[in-house]
């Protein structure tokens, strides 16, 4: 799939991994629609890259349908990258014996898993209407999971379950969409230097980076975007989850 000349939809594109991806796709010649809840930041990034911003809650069918329609109005929607996500920490049973808040668990699953599938299903419906490329492709959907899907830590029951669900979606959805020439690939990042990490003290960030085998540092959002580029351009990558983590395997806590 060629990036140049394609229309791309990036959820969570206002910051972090999504912003880096939106910027990379733009420099490679794509027109990008940024779908994000943060209107101020999303508009700023879209204006900076010559893209389009849509205010989107990924759990809303109406919001996602509007963003997909906006992307389709610009040309052939070929690339979708799902970076929207949330994460909260809570133990299944805390030290006072209080069980995990059920609504919190449902919220995390709702955004990270249901929201991811919502975007893929609606984007795929639009992609399937388009003409295939010379290689028979109509599009590629890239999902974002996490190494927590495999190495969930203490307090990550909701987050790890949601990301494991994204990993679980990958192969069956890729198989579902194969007749119409749409690929589905998931990236499972490790510990990346994103705005969420910026809330930590520098000493804590350094300690996290030192725990990564090599390179001994936090991942850069641009490195995630590099992998997105490789996935888009390699037509034989399909139905797979790729860890991007510097050989990190998370400890229990």
Catalytically active residues are 159
Rounded CA separation 166/149 (Å):
8
Give which of 139, 143, 9, 156 is closest to 74, Cα–Cα: 9
Q: Cis before residue 215, ω within 30 degrees of 0?
A: yes
Q: Are 66 and 54 in contact (CB under 8 A)?
A: yes
Q: How many helices (H) and strands (E) does the chain have?
A: 9, 7
The residue assigned the tokens 């997105």 is 228
Q: Are 33 and 67 in contact (CB under 8 A)?
A: yes
Q: How far apart are the first and last CA of the chain?
A: 40
């Amino acid at each position: 799939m060629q990036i140049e000349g394609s229309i791309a939809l990036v959820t969570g594109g206002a910051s972090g991994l999504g912003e880096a991806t939106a910027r990379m796709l733009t420099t490679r010649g794509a027109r990008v629609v940024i779908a994000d809840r943060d209107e101020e930041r999303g508009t700023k990034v879209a204006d900076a890259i010559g893209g389009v911003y849509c205010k989107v809650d990924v759990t809303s069918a109406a919001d996602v349908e509007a963003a997909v329609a906006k992307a389709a109005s610009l040309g052939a929607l070929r690339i979708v990258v799902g970076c929207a996500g949330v994460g909260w920490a809570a133990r299944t049973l805390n030290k006072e014996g209080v069980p995990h808040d059920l609504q919190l668990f449902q919220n995390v699953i709702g955004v990270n898993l249901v929201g991811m599938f919502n975007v893929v299903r609606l984007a795929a419906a639009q992609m399937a209407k388009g003409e295939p490329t010379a290689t028979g492709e109509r599009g590629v959907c890239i999902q974002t999971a996490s190494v927590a899907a495999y190495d969930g830590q203490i307090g990550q029951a909701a987050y790890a379950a949601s990301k494991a669900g994204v990993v679980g979606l990958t192969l069956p959805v890729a198989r579902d969409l194969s007749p119409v020439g749409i690929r589905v690939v998931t990236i499972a990042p490790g510990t990346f230097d994103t705005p969420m990490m910026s809330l930590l003290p520098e000493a804590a960030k350094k300690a996290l980076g030192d725990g990564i085998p090599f390179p001994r540092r936090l991942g850069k959002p641009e490195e995630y975007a590099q992998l997105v580029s490789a996935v888009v351009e390699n037509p034989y990558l399909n139905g797979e989850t790729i860890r991007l983590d510097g050989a990190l395997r998370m400890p229990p806590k």
